[in-house]
Amino acid sequence: MNRQVKLLAIESSCDDTSAAVLVDGKVLSNEVAGQLVHEKFGGVVPELASRAHQQHIVPVIDAALKKAGIRIEDLDAVAYTRGPGLMGSLLVGSSFAKGLALSRSIPLLPVNHMDAHVMAHFIDDPKPEFPFLCLVVSGGHTQLVRMDNAVSMEIIGKTRDDAAGEAFDKSAKLLGLPYPGGPLIDKYAKEGNPQRFQFNSSKMPEYDFSFSGLKTSILYFVQDEMKKNPAFIEENLADLCASIQETIVGYLIKNLKRAALDLGLKHIGIAGGVSANSRLRNAVEELAKKQGWHPYIPDFQYCTDNAAMIGITAYHQFLAGKFGAMADRPFAR
Ligand code: KG4
Ligand code: ZN
């Protein structure tokens, strides 16, 4: 192909409004506007999220185009997140994309958000070799995905209840920390003893995960200790964070290792918001080093929700001729 492919990608599945511009699969800009409005509610409030997307979407897209030096009339296609996610949030991105596609007579590229988290590994070098086993850990999902080529994703394990990010956020909430608590647990854990407290994690069949038992185990433990000493959390915050983080990371790594050994896969990686966790990043490096495997750890900017990962997935769909239609529902899978 001689002509360049210029794409605008929009991500609005949860509480981050993001836009990216890619030329021939190279990311020229990746703008993200977060939403602080949810902090005081201890979780994302869907109605507030969609209203904030509505406020952010035009300035964020404007900034992404300006930074990339690309005009709206130069675009060859527009990509958007077509779920999974919150309906009111998805509607903002998909409606904008459809309006733009209609007015400019350019094709639409609907992208699956979870596939895009894995595809974030294909933005920069070194790109994973196939077969590739990726642990995708976000606020809404926890999946083990096997990729045998650039367009096949097979989910070989998933959570049966909470996602890993939810386990972090709900544990943080029990400790009185604001939403999203995952990054705060990571921060306080750096000063704590990860072996100080032991919590239960449940073994699931195949390569599945379950985090609800862990949450209950932390809740009962903290409640008991608080009865004896009302300042228990305050006095032991770092050790609590380090121990909770160690339990979650240990559990994730155990499943990743078992699947890789069983299936004989030597290229392993992590993706999704929780892959920003410093202990998880180290643990994957350590595991790969011990086993002689190749670890793939995404750049921080591509761990949490961003439009660059939507753009790289859309670019491969564009090359494969996989376009969407104006009548597509804004939500899939
Ligand atoms: O992928 P993401 O941005 O959004 C979803 O698709 O859900 O993931 C957000 C999740 C939240 O649960 C957040 O607490 C978690 O990723 N997270 C972390 C860290 N950074 C983000 N969890 C643990 N440690 C971190 N450093
Ligand atoms: Zn995500």
Residue from 156, 103, 83, 139 nearest 329 by CA: 83
CA of 85 to the centre of ligand 2 (A): 9
Mutate to test the pocket of ligand 1, among 304, 309, 310, 333 (most ligand atoms within 8 A of CB): 304
Q: Which two tokens stand for residue 187?
A: 């921060």
- pTM, 2 dp: 0.93
Domain with CATH 3.30.420.40 in the chain: 6-118+303-320, 129-298
pLDDT in tens, 243-259: 999 999 999 999 999 99
- Give the integer Cα–Cα distance in Å for 244 and 251: 11
Superfamily of the domain at 129-298: ATPase, nucleotide binding domain (3.30.420.40)
pLDDT in tens, 21-36: 999 999 999 999 988 8
Q: Which residues surround ligand 2, an ion (CB under 5 A)?
A: 138, 305
Closest residue by Cα to atom 24, ligand 1, is 277
The finding on whether 194 has its CB within 6 A of some atom of ligand 1 is no
φ, ψ for residue 239, nearest 5 deg: -65, -40
- Give the integer Cα–Cα distance in Å for 121 and 130: 12
pLDDT in tens, 173-230: 999 999 899 999 999 999 999 999 999 888 898 899 999 999 999 999 999 999 999 9
CATH among 3.30.420.40, 3.40.50.970, 1.10.340.30, 3.40.50.1370 for 6-118+303-320: 3.30.420.40
